[in-house]
Structure formats: C-alpha cells, structure tokens
Amino acid sequence: MRLLRRRLDIHHEQNQALPGFRTMSVEQLVELAEALLNFTEISDLTVWIQEHDV
C-alpha cells in the first residue's frame, strides 16, 4: 500500500476508497507489485483491480 501511495500520489481520502488489499493472496500481491512498476496514474490501478477481480 505504501508503494501505491508513493507511486500514484494517493491521498488518505483516496486510500479509504481502495479495496482491501489485506485479503489478496500472496500471488495477487506479487502480480500487483510487478504491475505497479508500469502504473503512471490511479486509473492504471483501477483497471488492474477490475481485471483481477480484487
């Protein structure tokens, strides 16, 4: 979560709207960490979440 906030400049209010990453499997977290390297804006995260049913 900290990496997402830094990479995408997510503020506390936006953070509350994100899904519960604590329920993600280790495999999903690894996939997200790798995908994060290519994210440039929060919409990239939104699309990733939708595509991975998180």
Interatomic CA distance for residues 29 and 33, integer angstroms: 6
H-state helical runs in the chain: 2-8, 12-17, 26-36, 42-51
- Token output for 32: 């997200």
The pTM for the full model equals 0.67
Per residue in 11-47, pLDDT (tens digit) is 665 555 566 677 888 898 899 889 988 988 888 988 9
Q: How far apart are CA 40 and CA 25, in angstroms?
A: 24
